[in-house]
Amino acid sequence: MTLLIPTLNEFSGVSQIMPHVQREWVDQILFVDGGSTDGTIELVKSMNYEILIQKKKGIRYAYIEALDHIRGDAILTFSPDGNSIPSIIPPLIQKFNEGYDMVIASRYLGDAKSEDDDIITAFGNWLFTSLINHLHGGTYTDAMVMYRIYRKNLLYELDINKDSSYQTEEKLFRTVVGCEPLISIRAAKRKLKFAEIPADEPKRIGNERKLKIIRWGCAYMYEVFREKFFWS
Ligand SMILES: Nc1nc2c(ncn2[C@@H]2O[C@H](COP(=O)(O)OP(=O)(O)OP(=O)(O)O)[C@@H](O)[C@H]2O)c(=O)[nH]1
Ligand SMILES: [Mg+2]
């Protein structure tokens, strides 16, 4: 099990959150940094964590460039900005070990709630999750969140690692998107075995958000419909 932690200027998040992550929960903790200039890289190194510096820009490349360095056969993606509650790592792993391809820490299952959402992100997450369920046969309550575990091989089986899977939308809207929506879509299309556990999302710590609402909204919308007709 590899805990994969992407960072881009998350100094305060990393310093406040990582003391709550116990190293023995997982086999490997790997940071991938997108070019922080606020001391995050130095901080992570001083805490004795393994860190990889991204070559290409964009959150998707954090995952792709990490692949060769991931030693576990499962990946737990974790945001150190306060959005992912560390104490949920053990139950998430426990659920995954019951034999799932993917387990999601859902912000909208049962009593769980997001304190990080504003009206736009709440609507967007609901809209994309509903579309993915209706168009691709998913049963997600949260198809968008980063906090989740899956088999490492799933990224290859679903072509998540290939640039061609995102080419059109990234060109059209001049951005680099995240991997999560496509993972959710293709896992549903393949009818993989997935589960969710409820997980609150506290407000992010420090700095501004990196989410690009308009460009990503458009790109994900394109992706959700494109997948109805292509890739199987
Ligand atoms: N390596 C890397 N990490 C990134 C990049 N963009 C964002 N991140 C990190 O990924 C983690 C999750 O970010 P998100 O939660 O998706 O985005 P956010 O900016 O926190 O937006 P909100 O959570 O909606 O406030 C954070 O630790 C970010 O610093 C990137 O291009 N490269
Ligand atoms: Mg965040």
CA of 229 relative to ligand 2 center, distance in Å: 31
Whether the per-residue pLDDT at 65 is higher than 80: the answer is yes
Our measurement of the distance from residue 127's CA atom to the centroid of its chain's CA atoms, rounded to an integer in Å, reads: 18
**Counted domains in the chain:** 1
> Which among 17, 210, 213 is the best mutation to test ligand 1's pocket, defined by most ligand atoms within 8 Å of the CB?
210
CATH number for the domain that contains residue 144? 3.90.550.10
CA-to-CA distance for 50 and 149, rounded, in angstroms?
19
pLDDT at position 46 is 98
Q: Whose CA is nearest to atom 27 of ligand 1?
A: 7
Mean pLDDT of 62-74: 97
Q: What is the pLDDT of residues 128-157, one digit of tens each?
A: 999 999 999 999 999 999 999 999 999 999
Q: Which domain holds residue 93?
A: 2-229
Confidence of residue 16 (pLDDT cuts 50, 70, 90): very high
Query: Quick check: 222 pLDDT over 90?
Result: yes
pLDDT at 210 over 90: no
For the segment 172-193, what is each residue's pLDDT rounded down to a tens digit?
999 999 999 999 999 999 999 9
Pair 228, 135: CB distance under 8 Å = yes
* pLDDT at residue number 81: 96
170 Cβ closer than 6 Å to some ligand 1 atom: no
Q: What percent of the chain has a predicted confidence (pLDDT) above 70?
A: 100
Mean pLDDT across the stretch 60-80? 97
